[in-house]
Chain A
Amino acid sequence: MNKKSVGLTGSILGCLIGLLMLILGLYMEKYMNTPDLLGAVIGALGIILLQLSVTNTSEVLLKSKYPEVNEKKNREMRDERNMIIRQKAAEKTNYAMLLVYSFIIFTLLIMDVELYIMLLMAAAMAAHGGLSIFFYNYYEKKM
């Protein structure tokens, strides 16, 4: 099986699973006594999976039909200027997310929410910081 066939098979499988999840979610919401929102959650996940799979399927088919478009897209992805732009954008996002986390934790603190939610947010913030340090050290050794 070549790369295209694997990608196409995976996408079609994703479409089918997404569709099944959507039908199951709708069925559960309408006819079964399941816990609150369980059917809706399964249905929503099904829609997301279906949408991603349909996008992927069309991308795989377009790539094979228009190789020059695919080549141009690959060039854009590998382009050094675009890579620097992506890195700069990611760096700014990283700083912005630390501020967002701090703001959310502060808001939760004022709202007097349960401790485990606070701890979850704090853990997410710590993981963010930890990953930043880890990748910094990784690239410092590599370069």
Chain B
Amino acid sequence: MEESSLKNKLEELRKNYGITQEELAEKMEVSRQTIISIEKERYNPSLILAFKLAAMFRVPVEEIFIYEEE
């Protein structure tokens, strides 16, 4: 997928929360590969998925996803 300037702390948050990629994928109704790609910053999620992730970890979206200007 395309290079992005969007960094994220998803892996860190997920590990703190104590759930696996598969479990998170199930909760978010996406594939495990999508979670892996987001964590590796190869794929930028849709706004809906970003908000769903933020709601699940009970943090603001900008705390998970950090936009960095080139």
Chain A contacts to B: CB under 8 angstroms: 75-76, 78-82, 84
Q: Return 15 A-B CB contacts under 8 Å, by A number.
A: A75-B26, A75-B29, A75-B30, A78-B29, A79-B30, A79-B31, A80-B30, A80-B34, A80-B45, A80-B49, A81-B1, A81-B30, A81-B34, A82-B31, A82-B34
Which A-B residue pairs are the 6 nearest by beta carbons?
A: A81-B34, A79-B31, A79-B30, A76-B31, A80-B46, A81-B43
How distant is the Cα of A3 from the Cα of B1 in the complex, in angstroms?
Answer: 37
Highest count of chain B CB atoms <10 Å: which of A76, A80, A82, A84 = A80
Chain B contacts to A: CB under 8 angstroms: 1, 25-26, 29-31, 33-34, 37, 43, 45-46, 49
Q: Please give, as numbers and ranges, the residues of chain B lying within 8 Å of A76 by CB-CB distance.
A: 31
- Minimal beta-carbon separation of B66 from chain A (angstroms): 20
The answer to whether A81 and B29 touch across the interface, beta carbons within 8 angstroms, is: no
- Minimal beta-carbon separation of B45 from chain A (angstroms): 7
- Minimal beta-carbon separation of A67 from chain B (angstroms): 14
How distant is the Cα of A79 from the Cα of B34 in the complex, in angstroms?
Answer: 8
Q: Contacts A79-B34, A81-B34 given; 4 further ones with Cβ under 8 A? A: A75-B25, A75-B31, A80-B45, A82-B34
